[in-house]
Chain A
Amino acid sequence: MKRMSKTMALSALVPLCALILGILVTSIFIFLAGTSPLSAFEVLISGAFGTTGKVWPLLITLGQATPLILTGLAAMYSFRVGVFCIAQEGQYVFGAITAAWLGVALNLPPFLHVLVVLAASMVVGGIYGLIPAWLKVKLGVNEIISSIMLNSIAALVLEYMVAFPLRADQGQKAQSAVLDRAIWLPQFVQGSRWGISFVIAITLVVISYLYIWKTPKGYELRMVGQSARFARYGGVKADPTILQTLFLSGMIAGLAGSMEILGNYHRIMTGFSSGLGFDGLSVALLGQSHPLGVVIVAILLAGIRQGAQLGLQINLHVPRELGGVLIAMVILFIAAENVYRPYLEKLYDKIHAPKKELDHV
């Protein structure tokens, strides 16, 4: 019991510590740019989570966080089953391409049209998720490596699709035609991007929690993740579980891309993605591969980006890159947890030492 609570406390302390260290290091950069770190963070936070103005920054942040929650969730599934698949970017892009294509190509009643588009992108994303899984399970190809290739293939296919088949001629950009308004996903507050996609994302988070921790399938998934060989002895076939889980993961990433097109951009163009798939990885890592952690970290990341772009840049004329620096630093300190973990453990023991003696009595 004692040991359990100690690991629990530490797994909460580590991200917190990483956050604090990240903020400290970023403060040095802010200071070098000639601004007080204190006011910079104040502006950053108000630009990210403020509740003033016509459309609250907080709501915009939630809107921005939506695809991150989903790609984070997708990465989480992959990590949980013990496969370090980083193809979320490719799945996300393929989901989006599918949505932009079917959104224009099909002619159905709006509600049905949306459902068909979302379902199709999920299937496409899922299949794209199956590729690295199948290569790993059947042939033993390292999933990180096949993911890298799949991501660059997706990027090239996107460039091809918007420059040729999906191209709507106009202006100086390569982009597809604007989708019919009837199939746009609604937003709760006009202009916030915070809409039905967010609800779907949160619903999926809850379902994922229940699936992974409350169903037999989820139990198998976790067992496989902890050790493929161990799970096999325990009567769980690892391979089908891995395939299923990565299909699921691909579906979620595909859905994220699809909802971004239907709810946000309403068309597709090169550069729409901005590496959201990769950010999904960071979200899952920082969120300790837990659905709740994913949601919190996604909102935090979206907020930092938003606050850096609009708060730091406009209010303080501080380079907006510092938002990215902060995020990168936090990831760095998460990665380096082994360096300072012993100190945290000592600290924990020190605080709890008298109590321990009390237990003995």
Chain B
Amino acid sequence: MFEFLSLFNVNVINSSIRLATPIVLAALGAAMCNKAGVLNLAIDGKMLIGAFTGIVATYFFRNFTQVGIAHPILATYLGVLTAMVVGGLFGLFFAWMHIKYKVDLVILAIAINMLALEVTVYLMRVLFKQAGTWSDPSIVQLPSITVGWIAAIPFFGSFLTGYNMIVYVSWILAVVLSIMMYKTRFGRHIQAVGENIEAAKAAGISVQRVQYFALVFSGVLAGMAGSFLSVGHLTLFTRNMSNGRGWIGNAAALFGFNSAPGSFFAALFFGFADGIALRLQNVTDLPPYIVQLMPNILTIVILAFVSYRAKLRELKRTQQ
């Protein structure tokens, strides 16, 4: 048991944070969509598209002279940006289809997830003559940034810094979104839509605008999460690279009551389960799957609890 406790050290935290980052981004996006009343199950597919466009764009920025990006790290940042734009465009497409044509988002998500999986491999074959993995030596990984004064903080310093830009952005976003949701007008509009769409409409809030924003925003985050996988954490693309992380993000959003800080910490929790699972075998004989099962089961329990409370509240209101 005490051996188990030895797992909680700086290295595990570092590694868990890296594993959690794509989940954090997915969860923040998913939470926003859930608030806006548009269930977005295509985050995994958009993440995969982001991973692919991220690395391909980086490659093109590096190697096409007419574009002329000589600086390798700048090219990588532009690659990440491209992935975000493409992710956002897919989000826009979703929003447009849903709001203008009343297309069912779940079915659309099933199609896009499948399409992302197949088309990325198809393009890898056609563009690069590779089927399973693609990478190019000219692509440089997103650099890790260690902020001196943070690193100097005793104890906390070592796990608060030393990551790449996307990790910091995910943290900043969590904070900014938390403030935005409670302190700004638009944030309160989103909250209102989340509570009750009809009431929000009656109060003159543009539900469409909120939903457009949520879907585009979550697309941008999914694209960024994808590029974290392909050029942030590694410098290669593999078939089905997102590997279900988008779905975990959906779960984490619910685990965190669809609030920004809640989803952030829930996603970290999922990341920690992964980080600990992969070190567990060094200290115990416990199968790693048990640790990975925990957040999943807890999510269901929490969901049940939250829904039950909501139901009770509803009952009370109708009785009055």
Contact = CB atoms under 8 A, between A and B. Distances in A.
B304 A338 contact: no
A84 B106 contact: yes
Interface string A110-121: 000000000000
A141 B304 contact: yes
B296 A140 contact: no
B147 interface: no
Contact of B121 (A32, A148, A150, A319): A319
A146 B118 CA distance: 27
A134 B293 CA distance: 21
B96 to A, nearest CB: 10
Given A135-B304, A156-B296, A322 B122 contact: yes
Interface string A279-318: 0011001000000000000000000000000000000000
Nearest to A132: B300
Contacts of A144: 39, 41, 106
A225 to B, nearest CB: 16
Contact of B111 (A149, A331, A339): A331
B250 A148 contact: yes
A153 B300 CA distance: 10
A145 interface: yes
A321 interface: yes
A163 B287 CA distance: 9
Residue from A139, A157, A278 whose CB has the most chain B CB atoms within 10 Å:
A139
A285 B103 CA distance: 13
B108 interface: yes
B101 interface: yes
Residue from A142, A149, A153, A332 whose CB has the most chain B CB atoms within 10 Å:
A149
A152 interface: yes
B125 A321 contact: yes
Contact of B296 (A153, A282, A339): A153
B103 A338 contact: yes
Given A328-B115, A329-B115, A335-B103, A319 B125 contact: yes
B307 A156 contact: no
Given A145-B303, A152-B247, A321 B115 contact: no
A132 B36 CA distance: 23
B125 A285 contact: no
Contacts of A329: 111, 115
A153 B293 contact: yes
B250 A145 contact: yes
Contacts of B117: 324
B300 A149 contact: yes
A335 B250 CA distance: 21
Nearest to B292: A156
B279 to A, nearest CB: 17
Interface in B119-161: 119, 121-122, 125-126, 131
A159 interface: yes
B310 A321 contact: no
B102 A324 contact: no
A33 B251 contact: no
Interface residues of B, number: 44
A24 interface: no
Contacts of A142: 303, 307
B251 to A, nearest CB: 6
Interface string A139-175: 1111011101111110011011001100000000000
Given A140-B307, A146-B303, A285 B107 contact: yes
A344 interface: no
Contact of A321 (B110, B122, B248, B311): B122
Given A156-B293, A324-B117, A331-B110, A338 B101 contact: yes
Interface in B274-289: 287, 289
A334 B114 CA distance: 14
Interface in A27-84: 29, 32-33, 84
A328 B111 contact: yes
B40 to A, nearest CB: 11
Contact of A152 (B118, B248, B287): B248
B118 A324 contact: yes
Given A331-B107, A338-B101, A135 B119 contact: no
B289 A160 contact: yes
Contacts of A156: 289, 292-293, 296
B184 to A, nearest CB: 28
6 A-B pairs with least C-beta separation: A324-B118, A328-B115, A332-B111, A328-B114, A160-B289, A331-B111
29 contacts: A33-B122, A135-B303, A135-B307, A139-B304, A139-B307, A145-B250, A146-B300, A148-B247, A148-B250, A149-B300, A149-B303, A153-B296, A153-B297, A160-B290, A282-B114, A319-B122, A319-B125, A319-B126, A321-B118, A321-B121, A322-B122, A325-B115, A325-B119, A328-B111, A328-B114, A328-B118, A329-B115, A331-B107, A332-B108
